[in-house]
Structure 1
Amino acid sequence: MRIFENLESEVRGYIRSFPTIFKKAKGAILTDEQGVEYIDFFAGAGTLNYGHNNEHISKALIEYLQEDGIVHGLDMATTAKKEFLQTFENLILKPRNLEYKLQFTGPTGTNAVETALKLARLVKGRSNIVAFTNGYHGLSQGSLAVTGNNEYRDESYISRTNATFMPFDGYFGDMNTLTYFRKFLEDGSSGVDLPAAVILETIQGEGGINVASKEWLQELEAICREFDILLIIDDIQVGNGRSGEFFSFEFAGINPDMVTLSKSIGGGLPMALLLFKPHLDQWKPGEHTGTFRGNNLAFVASKVSLDHYWQNDNISKAVFYKEIILKEALEKIALKYKDDYEIEIRGRGLVYGFEIKNDKSMASDISAFAFQEQLIIETCGSENQVVKFLPPLLIDEELLIEGLKRFENALDRLVQERKNNLKGEF
């Protein structure tokens, strides 16, 4: 690992949680240089919904390159882009009765968010954006202004202007937080400027797997319509089938004005895009650009993943089936330790959080012990207090069950070690 310590910046993160050199990967398995295999419950932070080196995607990419297909084309028309657009319209938009224009931004999620914020302000002629507590939208300056985690929000590199935070669903327990939001909008002396848009995740990934209810999302949409505010859904991590449906907001029956997509939409390759209702397409040609706004290899990967997994609802059924396995296993583990720990389990589809509420320090230790059990699993939340389950959507049932056993083994070992340490103090 010395080469990374000597040459790579101190900013590196996941390498510290998983200190080994990975050499290859397939499906839900990562293999290091020593041949040790790890079950992947991280999936590239949600980028690998279809698994590592998906055979359909790899085959399509190899064939495309062998035929000298366009790799870089800025925003010029290419065959790869044409086929992606046709497939996305036919398999994703039309079956859901959604009418959106597509804008290809820079290659990462934060590029899509920046574009959404800029367009919302341009269209509405207002600067304020409302975001929600514990929300995460990226680490470039505009996206960071609407990101709640204080670890990233430092006066030295972020402008805190033009963003207002409101409480997410459940932030005050049983209180309806939208009543609070509405009061600020109705009161001309509240100090909150009428926003151009609100932006939110329906399931807060980095924020701790906080799940918005159907009723809360529907009421939020109604408020946006009443006050002429654009509704932006950030589906970068929990879209692309992660919740079971392709879009995480489908279950609520809402129709956002804009949707940001990245991570798994590129089939494992860098791609980000902004969907927006046609009347919002008020850009002048070239007004918002980027050198890598058209990743043709990602178009190829995305098209083949849509073709193979979204022709019908089989992948959704598989996600909901595996959700039952995941949820029941976590509930069984929580019951096992109910006398000693206050454990909360929450999530939807194949994104779940396991939080030990009366000992926030345990999550990071569980992740470390899980790595020793050859399980890759990360943490999230404002204090990294939630263990985050994010396996590939295509993970085999047997491998999912085995990974859950390794998680339980890691927790058992940690609990026993803490008990032994406590005894040693007396």
Structure 2
Amino acid sequence: MHRFETIRQLESSARTYASSFEAVFESGAGALLRDQSGREIIDCLSCAGALPLGHNHPEVNDAIRRFFQSGHVQQALDLSTPAKFEFVKTLFETLPDDWARRAKIQFCSPSGSDAVEAAMKLTRFATGRQTIVAFSGAYHGMTRGALAAMGNLGVKSGLGLGAGDVHFAPYPYRFRCPFGTDGTETDALSIQYLRNLLADPESGVSKPAAVVVEVVQGEGGCIPVSDAWLRALRQLTRAHEIALIIDEVQTGFGRTGSMFAFERAGIRPDVLVLSKAIGGGFPLAVVVYDEVLDVWPRGKHAGTFRGNQIAMVAGKATIEILRRDRLDAHAAQMGALLVDGLREIARAHPEFGDVRGRGLMVGVEIVDPSSDGAPQDGELARAIKLEAFRNGLLVETGGRHGAVLRLLPPLIVNRADISAILERLDASIAQAKRGRGPRGGANHRSDERDGEAARPVAQGRSALPQAEPVKREAERRRGLLKPAFLLLWLGETALDFGSALMSFALAAWIFQKTGSAERFSFAVLSAAIPALLLTPVAGALADRFDRRWVIAGCDVAMAIMIGALAWLLFRGALAPGHLYFFNATSAAIGCIRMPAYRAAVTAIVPRERLTQASGFTGTSQALLRIAAPLIAGYVLADYGLKGIVGLDMLMIAAGSAAIFAALLRAAHAIRGVVGAVDASLIEGVSASFAAAVRYFKSVPMFQGLAAYNMLQESLLLLSSVMLTPLVLSTHSSSTLGLILTYGALGGLAGSLLLLVLRIEARLMSLALFADAVLAMLIALVGFSRSPAAWCAFVFLAYFASSASSACTSALWARKTPREMRGSIFALNTSMNLAAMSIVVLVGGVLCQRLFEPALADGGAWAPTVGAWLGTGKGRGIGLLLVLCGAAGCVASLLALTCTRLRHLDALVPDQTHDDARDLLRNGVAVT
């Protein structure tokens, strides 16, 4: 340790990382460091995020070696050079296309601090205003101007730095809400605070030149903002003509799971600050900004070392590797594994109060669960860090009181690396807890600062309401059946029961009145087309308005429609045309209601219980499918269609009351982002559609899943629709009821199996296999003519369909961002409805005008196709089902051969990191 001691004696007392990690690091490769003793250490710091490819990446080293051998200049101020040209070209190709076309770049002195200062100087000069709005907990660097925008008072103490022209707003820190709430309304309150600050002429804050924000506060504790909050901030700054500066010094270039952290929200900043990873491990910092701000004069911002050619060469090579190897997507996948593993550790160690982050920028807030309010425990966090280093793991602390373990491994880590990180961290917390003895003060300040953002903001307990992880963990074990979910489940079951009665009765009534498969398919189309047109509006309503009132309004409208149908029926004036109109209107109501309802369910059901919740819902629906045909047949026989309508009205009244009671119990979780933005409904629809499209573009595998689902749903709907005329063409409605009852029993069996097995892994593989089986069974239904065979095949088909539906529903709920679910569900439904409408229309016309006549007794196809399929009534419909089954089977088998789609649930990270916390605070437990 001679060299270490010599360095320690000679180096300033302001040193940071060297004061914690007593070693001389001699070499590194990838995610591994080696000290002078030869000990290997996993690097979960990556030089504060400056090494996205880890240490000594061979391609980067080769690029640097070739540059040295070329004889090109190594320092060039801001002169034009080949290296600079290639770097700028590569960077602008990496920026979002629409923004790159109007962007300018400023090279700064080689640190993020200087780039932040340049960004603030730029916006002040361009706007003629001086005020800057920053956020509590922010870290923007260590130079004077950057320090002024830092929320950490400890670092600024003794330097004579007042607030000056920088004003601070509360950062949306949900785990410890700055507004004293439980965290569910933090985003909306934060935006409202800013809105009032900017609009109030007596706020004491002059109109700002810029708002500067980190999408994920790094040194502040790895605290991410939501996409909805960032979009609302962008809209607010644009409305007030204030420049938005996004500091991506640490988050840029794949760290958070997208190339730039702001991209996930679909916004564009006015100014983007980049450093660290942009130089591939060498010092480089730039500001990229909208060309409208490019008004400062020559020499307004300069620096000797802004032309580091070595950094430009390394940066170009690094960016190209990041893009080529899709390391942003890889970071999202590995980050999801890391977060899931840390949450497993938290089950045994309640000191892990909150696990959060984005991509491979992850934080674990260490708390003292034995104290009231679970305050931060910086002392234990430091002890864990030191034990981790002894165990061969390099992590750092940050955040308030230095109580957050920060993990920023290189983006090249693999599953084995993640497992090793988790194992060493698990051992380290156990060792730290054993070694500390009786607890000291949970907010004890350590003697030496553990990194630039680790000094406490103030001594003693925070005055803000604190989270309660121990209480949450206890509630997590209580089970799924909380009052909110029970009421929602029972209420929806009542509505489904009434709908099932009406569906059976009206389907039988229409076909018996018309006797035409084509006219029967028109009844389905009359429902599909209005739903297709209105579904985009539904997504905006679900995400941007109070979901309680959306659902309640739809239930009232449906009650009015049933009342109108009853009035026509009792007057004896009901005709097929009326039912087409009823189908169209009720479908429009349902399509508006469904995204809001689905988003509400996923908001009050914890992520890890979504498959079980699907099982509960599937069980109730299966029971209804068993009972509804039998009950409908009995009621139709004794009381006619009037009895069915009366029962449906009763179910609507009871179900709506139960559902609204459930929504009131979980109001905060279900509301969506109401209050966060000001926008018209048309703007909301556009934003909703655009956000969903951006999500699908950012997750290519979900594009494939959506296309696959669209095909399978269309074929399944056509098969389901044509089952009724297939049976009724040769048998009675009682036979149809019996077959549907067997199908419902199969669906119940599939749902119960999921409830018992509680499958959480390989959901996509299971869904694809179930779809293949389902398709083969549909073909067998088409081949068959016997009611007994139909009962058997339909039973098995519903069994497979139930399993597939539950798995895919859970995947959509787990993998989509919570604040965008309504929009995504609506877009997905729109695509499915468009495909279904075409398929059902074509299928109905083919049956009526081609298949049925061709396979009639003596028809054109009777000697050929009829020889193995049979001839007579219903055989054309049977042929259609055979073709549907064959197409579905081929699609499923092809999907099973696609490795990435088959492993989608492992490759696409969960997007519900905050759900469990929010749900517990609204009456639903996580177990």
- Shorter chain as denominator, the TM-score bin is over 0.9
Aligned to 1:352: 362
Distance (whole Å) between structure 2 residues aligned to residue 102 and residue 395 of structure 1: 31
Q: Is the 8 A contact 1:131 1:165 kept in 2?
A: yes
Aligned to 1:392: 410
Q: Is the 8 A contact 1:137 1:144 kept in 2?
A: yes
Alignment of 1:35-184 (within 5 A): 35-94=38-97, 99-170=102-173, 171-172=178-179, 173=183, 174-175=185-186, 176-184=189-197
Aligned to 1:325: 337
Other structure's SS at 2:402 match: coil
Deviations 1:180-201 (A, max 9, x none): 1111111111101110000010
Which of 406, 412, 416 is the aligned partner of 2:430? Answer: 412
Paired residue type of 1:210: I
Asked if residue 382 in structure 1 is aligned to residue 382 in structure 2, the reply is no
Alignment of 1:164-243 (within 5 A): 164-170=167-173, 171-172=178-179, 173=183, 174-175=185-186, 176-243=189-256
Distance (whole Å) between structure 1 residues aligned to residue 285 and residue 100 of structure 2: 22
Q: Is the 8 A contact 1:141 1:159 kept in 2?
A: no
Asked if residue 14 in structure 1 is aligned to residue 27 in structure 2, the reply is no
Other structure's SS at 1:249 match: helix
More deviation, 118-127/169-178:
169-178
Alignment of 1:242-261 (within 5 A): 242-261=255-274
Aligned to 2:680: none
| TM score, norm. by length of structure 1 | 0.95
Distance (whole Å) between structure 2 residues aligned to residue 67 and residue 342 of structure 1: 52
Q: Is the 8 A contact 1:259 1:276 kept in 2?
A: yes
1:396 Cα deviation after fit: 2.8
Asked if residue 3 in structure 1 is aligned to residue 21 in structure 2, the reply is no
Asked if residue 265 in structure 1 is aligned to residue 275 in structure 2, the reply is no
1:93 Cα deviation after fit: 4.0
Deviations 1:232-285 (A, max 9, x none): 000001111101111111010111000000000000000000000011111212
1:298 Cα deviation after fit: 0.8
Q: Is the 8 A contact 2:137 2:152 kept in 1?
A: yes
| TM score, norm. by length of structure 2 | 0.44
1:54 Cα deviation after fit: 0.9
Q: Is the 8 A contact 2:74 2:308 kept in 1?
A: yes
Distance (whole Å) between structure 2 residues aligned to residue 22 and residue 31 of structure 1: 6
Asked if residue 334 in structure 1 is aligned to residue 346 in structure 2, the reply is yes
Deviations 1:198-219 (A, max 9, x none): 0010000011111111111111
Distance (whole Å) between structure 2 residues aligned to residue 187 and residue 121 of structure 1: 21
Distance (whole Å) between structure 2 residues aligned to residue 76 and residue 103 of structure 1: 12
Other structure's SS at 1:352 match: strand
Distance (whole Å) between structure 2 residues aligned to residue 323 and residue 7 of structure 1: 39
Distance (whole Å) between structure 1 residues aligned to residue 264 and residue 38 of structure 2: 42
Distance (whole Å) between structure 1 residues aligned to residue 170 and residue 101 of structure 2: 28
Structure number with larger C-alpha Rg:
2
Other structure's SS at 1:368 match: helix
Q: Is the 8 A contact 2:220 2:398 kept in 1?
A: yes
Paired residue type of 1:51: G
Unaligned runs of 5+ in 1: none
Q: Which has the higher helix share?
A: 2
Aligned to 2:720: none
Unaligned runs of 5+ in 2: 369-375, 440-927
Distance (whole Å) between structure 1 residues aligned to residue 238 and residue 95 of structure 2: 24
Paired residue type of 1:195: P
1:155 Cα deviation after fit: 4.5
Deviations 1:375-394 (A, max 9, x none): 10000102100000100001
Q: Is the 8 A contact 1:93 1:99 kept in 2?
A: no
Distance (whole Å) between structure 2 residues aligned to residue 45 and residue 132 of structure 1: 21
1:342 Cα deviation after fit: 5.8
Which of 284, 292, 295 is the aligned partner of 2:305? Answer: 292
Paired residue type of 1:336: A
Distance (whole Å) between structure 1 residues aligned to residue 101 and residue 251 of structure 2: 18
Q: Is the 8 A contact 1:131 1:163 kept in 2?
A: yes
Other structure's SS at 2:37 match: coil
Other structure's SS at 1:260 match: strand
Q: Is the 8 A contact 2:105 2:288 kept in 1?
A: yes
More deviation, 37-46/356-365:
356-365
Other structure's SS at 2:6 match: helix
Other structure's SS at 1:237 match: coil
Distance (whole Å) between structure 2 residues aligned to residue 363 and residue 264 of structure 1: 27
**Taking structure 1 as reference, are residues 95 and 311 closer, same or farther at Cα in structure 2, changes over 3 Å only?**
farther
Q: Is the 8 A contact 1:91 1:311 kept in 2?
A: no
Runs of 4+, deviation exceeding 3 Å: 95-99
Paired residue type of 2:267: I
Distance (whole Å) between structure 2 residues aligned to residue 168 and residue 324 of structure 1: 24
Distance (whole Å) between structure 2 residues aligned to residue 315 and residue 276 of structure 1: 25
Percentage identity across paired residues of the two chains? 37
The structure showing larger relative contact order (alpha-carbon pairs under 8 Å, at least 6 residues apart) is: 1
Deviations 1:310-354 (A, max 9, x none): 147x2122112101210111000001123xx36111101001111
Paired residue type of 2:392: Q
Q: Is the 8 A contact 2:254 2:322 kept in 1?
A: no
1:12 Cα deviation after fit: 0.9
Q: Is the 8 A contact 2:108 2:306 kept in 1?
A: yes
More deviation, 161-170/278-287:
278-287
1:158 Cα deviation after fit: 2.0
Deviations 1:107-135 (A, max 9, x none): 00001000000011001111100000100
**Taking structure 1 as reference, are residues 28 and 73 closer, same or farther at Cα in structure 2, changes over 3 Å only?**
same
Paired residue type of 2:238: R
Deviations 1:393-416 (A, max 9, x none): 012321221122111110111122
Paired residue type of 1:370: A
Q: Which has the higher strand share?
A: 1
More deviation, 112-121/391-400:
391-400
